[in-house]
Amino acid sequence: MVSYSTPLSDLFIKTKAENRAALIGYLPAGFPTIADSAKVIAAMVKGGVDAIEIGFPYSDPVMDGPVIQNAAEQSLKQGTSASDVFNLMAETTKLGVPAVVMTYWNPIERYGVDNFLKDLKANGGSGVITPDLTIEESAQWIESSTSHETNRIYVVAPSTSDARLRNVTAATSGFVYAASLMGVTGTRTSVASSAEALVAKLRGVTELPIAVGLGVSTPDQAREVAQYADGVIVGSAFIRLLQESSSIAEGVEKVRELAKDLSRGLSRA
């Protein structure tokens, strides 16, 4: 049982009291450039995003679809480093919203687990999402993240068994990341029905907030997910707008507008 609070866990207390879902936006650090990523996040927050996932660009992103893969590749070519990730974390939390890092395990291991957690906390971070870390390989991570009072966010899928859901959620804090479908990130025409079924199964094994990601990209989809989940995660839709814009100014404004449209529909009926 987690006995400490973070800005992230406090956010879900607040949104529950307001009878709405939290809007969580994702952006890889260093995209579209190291300097401009802070502008994009500021636009998300101005538009109504409640919390930010900062992606740690990685060369083998197995969970990510082509939109995020291309953004991460662009970021890596520009030399984005761990210090850039943590600097962006500091800039984000100065905006008054909770922030977490989403990263594959290899960058954490290379950086050093305790050093990674120490620098995350020093820059205002609430937690870490680790999509490729299994619960069976988490002993050191659980011990260290608990010591540093950092939320440990695991990803579960529609195929995850009930017994495994219990084990994973017992080690999770902050929120449970519910992948809406089997597959990779990306915008889709509809949210899979498996998302609601997965959230229902999770309600039976945990009292933690549950946020749904993978495939949520439109206000209608966000509104649908907000009726049964505690959080709505949007990433590829924001990134695609930036990739398709002719200038950073155009892209930033489109990001702000999408965040505003998404945030309007998160109250529960």
Q: Is 60 known to be catalytic?
A: no
Q: Would you place residue 154 in the very low, low, confident or very high pLDDT band (cuts 50, 70, 90)?
A: very high
Q: Is 230 known to be catalytic?
A: no
Q: Among positive and negative, which fits the CA dihedral 41, 73, 213, 247?
A: positive
**Whole-number Å distance between alpha carbons of 97 and 125:** 10
To the nearest whole number, what is the mean pLDDT of the chain? Answer: 91
| pLDDT, tens digit (0-9, with 9 covering 90-100), for 194-221 | 889 999 999 999 999 999 998 788 999 9
Distance from the Cα of residue 190 to its chain's centroid: 20
The pLDDT of 111-123, averaged and rounded, is 98
| pLDDT, tens digit (0-9, with 9 covering 90-100), for 42-53 | 999 999 999 999
| pLDDT, tens digit (0-9, with 9 covering 90-100), for 214-251 | 878 899 999 999 999 999 999 999 999 999 999 999 99
Residue 27 sits at the vertex; the CA angle it makes with 23 and 33, to the nearest 5 degrees, is 145
What's the order of all strands across the beta sheet hosting 151-153? Answer: 151-153, 127-129, 99-102, 51-55, 22-28, 231-234, 210-213, 176-179, 155-156
What is the predicted pLDDT for the residue at 2?
65
% of the chain beyond a pLDDT of 70: 92
Q: Would you place residue 187 in the very low, low, confident or very high pLDDT band (cuts 50, 70, 90)?
A: very low
What is the predicted pLDDT for the residue at 191?
54
What is the predicted pLDDT for the residue at 59?
77
Q: 32: cis peptide before it, omega within 30°?
A: yes
What is the predicted pLDDT for the residue at 184?
42
Of 10, 18, 50, 53, catalytic? 53
What is the predicted pLDDT for the residue at 264?
94
Which class for 139: exposed (0-12), middle (13-18), buried (19 or more C-beta within 10 A)?
exposed
Q: Would you place residue 190 in the very low, low, confident or very high pLDDT band (cuts 50, 70, 90)?
A: very low
Q: Are 259 and 23 in contact (CB under 8 A)?
A: yes
Q: Are 256 and 43 in contact (CB under 8 A)?
A: yes
What is the predicted pLDDT for the residue at 185?
44
Residue 53 pairs in a beta bridge with 26, 100
**Whole-number Å distance between alpha carbons of 31 and 120:** 19
Say whether 68 sits in a helix, a strand or coil.
helix
Of 10, 36, 60, 64, catalytic? 64
Which domains, from first to last, does the chain contain?
Answer: 7-263 (3.20.20.70)
